[in-house]
Copies of this chain bind each other. A is one copy, B any other.
């Protein structure tokens, strides 16, 4: 198996992606193709013990910056790590692409270069999310601001495949994000999607879920449009930040508290770990014709390694093939109608 890693992506590139790639190559024994400015990558690689590891470097001279506009960037920066890296996947020279860079540009490039799986109307940007009972998947979290019910149905189907294959949860519970649990709650989009999900076979639809239910872990897959999913994701991140900030403020208010808090450090670290995006290992872009994993921009080596782990599991467990199979029938039926 070969996994392409965008060595120029993320706030700590190329240092942390390269360090993460070294760790992943050692731990999983797979080949990692580091893509980006070769001299910079080689300079970072020189800092590590890499003998015996399957690490290769492919040169790409351009870098998509976080301030770049997505579509413009991928059109103009043909020799960027994102564009060149995704081409390796497209040409079958690699099995998956991992990046902690500009998620919008990666989404746009993947849609354009790999194209969508046949029968899929829109690719969805998902994210893995910590809850009271473990990790769940939320789809979409920002790629599709405007959606139609049919897109959400497909997000539910693809999300369920991913959760089953990668999070290893059989028959995942699918919830539709709404402002109330009752079937009648929600925008017209939500209400129509709710009815369609009820009629969709092969999905374990448990009904509407509220923001609180998502955090309580009542569903394994939470389906929503990219606008609302982004609000959910950012609000949860922001709330956790505020709570950690308040805790830190109070636990360092005096020397006595500081000493006690020091003794509790292992406990606090466990809480932090449960919420740490670096542990979850990146979020999948579902519906494109290839395995693409997007890491948080602030990801360090550990998060990169875990993103590569997740990519490997998605490849090993045939996530993409399963999604293709799911929509092949639908695509055929649609093609027949067109003729």
Which residues of A are interface residues toward B (Cβ below 8 A)? 130-132, 142, 145-146, 177-180, 185-188, 190, 210-216, 226-228, 230-243, 245-247, 250-251, 253, 256-257, 260-261, 263-264, 267-268, 270-271, 274-275
In the bound complex, residues from chain B placing their C-beta under 8 Å from that of A271 are 243, 246-247, 250
Kindly list chain B residues whose C-beta atoms are within 8 Å of the C-beta of A230: 179-180, 210-211
Cβ 8 A contact of A253, one of B146, B177, B242, B267: B267
**Residues of chain B contacted by A251 (CB below 8 angstroms):** 264, 267
Instruction: Knowing A132-B242, A235-B232, A264-B260 are in contact, say whether A179-B226 is a contact too (CB < 8 A).
Output: yes
One of B132, B190, B210, B241 near A212 (C-beta < 8 A): B241
Some 26 contacts from A to B, beta carbons below 8 A apart, are A132-B242, A145-B179, A178-B227, A190-B227, A210-B234, A211-B230, A211-B232, A211-B235, A211-B236, A212-B234, A212-B235, A212-B241, A213-B238, A215-B242, A228-B228, A232-B235, A236-B236, A243-B271, A247-B267, A250-B267, A250-B270, A257-B264, A257-B267, A260-B261, A260-B264, A261-B264
Interchain CB contact under 8 A, B250 and A235: no
CA distance A235 to B230 in the complex (A): 12
Find chain B residues with CB under 8 A from A261 CB: 260, 264
Known: A146-B188, A227-B179. Is A256-B263 also a contact (CB below 8 A)? yes
Measured CB to CB, the closest approach of chain B to A72, in angstroms, equals 13
A179 engages B142 (CB within 8 Å) = yes
In the complex, the chain B residue whose C-beta lies closest to that of A178 is B227
Given A179-B226, A239-B235: A187 in contact with B267 (beta carbons within 8 A): no
Docked-complex contact B274 and A227, CB < 8 angstroms: no
Nearest CB in chain B: distance from A30 CB, A: 33
A308 to chain B, nearest CB (A): 27
Residues of B within 8 A of A213 (CB): 238
How many identical subunits does the complex contain? Answer: 2
A68 to B238, CA, bound (A): 34
Assess the B235–A215 pair: CB atoms within 8 A: yes
**CB within 8 Å for A211 and B238 given contacts A132-B245, A264-B251:** yes
A237, B213: Cα distance in complex, Å: 10
Distance in angstroms from A186 CB to nearest chain B CB is 7
Choose among A146, A226, A234, A251 the residue with the greatest number of B CB atoms under 10 Å from its CB.
Answer: A234
Is the CB–CB distance between B131 and A242 below 8 Å? yes
Contact B146 A187 (CB under 8 A): yes
> Are B253 and A234 in touch, CB under 8 angstroms?
no
A213 to B241, CA, bound (A): 11
CB distance from A108 to the nearest CB of B (A): 15
Q: Please report the C-alpha to C-alpha distance between residue A187 and residue B231 in the assembled complex, in whole angstroms.
A: 12
Residues of B near A239 (CB, < 8 A) are 215, 235-236, 239-240, 243
Q: In the complex, what residues of B have CB within 8 A of residue A240's CB?
A: 239, 243
Nearest chain-B residue to A190 (Cβ)? B227
Q: Nearest chain-B residue to A261 (Cβ)?
A: B264
- B-side contacts of A232, CB under 8 Å: 211, 231, 235
B250 touches A177 (CB 8 A): no
Q: Of A142, A188, A211, which is in contact with the most chain B CB atoms at under 10 Å from its CB?
A: A211
Contact A186/B227 with A246-B271, A250-B270 known, Cβ cut-off 8 Å: yes
